[in-house]
Amino acid sequence: MEQRIELAPNCSLSAAGARLFFGSVCAFSLMFALIFVVQGLWPVLPFWGLEMLVLGLALQASMRRRRYTQTVLITESSVSLVIRSRHGEAKQEFARHWARVRLRTPRTGRHPSRLMIESQGHAIEVGSFLTEEDRCLLATRLRTMVGGMSESPPLERDRTQGDRLR
């Protein structure tokens, strides 16, 4: 028996929606830029171009983030995390009996907490893209499923199997 939790960032904008958004912002702001150019304020045009370039790069970076996912797989003997990104796939596996789930609080209030799965001196962060509330809920859920060091609670088949958290 195994439990699987799929984690993915909340990227609700589709590729077609991103193109439509970018095109409409470019067209709308170009109208205003051309009004100033007609009045003789031609330096507005290079700044408009620079602004649209920055917007396009930010949108592209946001769209790339959609491919980033994490899968936590908990079996009777192991806890594994599979991370998929634009760089490929990486897998980290821990013995469940020695694994521990820790939610590390930040040193200052400006930084988010970090959810870690640790075992025998190795640690990996889970759900860094989640909201603080979702990260705390995931920590509670993982603690229940993984248990503490030297304990492995039985895995129960329930509604959480195969859940997807966004």
Which of the following CATH numbers is that of domain 2-9+68-165: 2.30.29, 2.40.128, 1.10.287, 2.60.120? 2.30.29
> Distance between CA 47 and CA 31 in Å, rounded?
14
More confident residue, 68 or 166: 68
Task: Report whether pLDDT(96) > 80.
Answer: yes
Please tell me the pTM assigned to this model.
Answer: 0.69
Cβ within 8 Å of residue 102, ≥6 positions away? 115, 116, 118
Q: List, in sequence order, the alpha helices (H) in the chain.
A: 15-38, 44-64, 132-146
Calculate the average pLDDT of the chain: 87
Q: Is the dihedral of CA 128, 129, 133, 137 positive or negative?
A: negative
The confidence score (pLDDT) of residue 85 equals: 86
Which of 57-61, 95-99, 161-165 is predicted least confidently?
A: 161-165
The confidence score (pLDDT) of residue 112 equals: 86
Task: Report whether pLDDT(166) > 60.
Answer: no
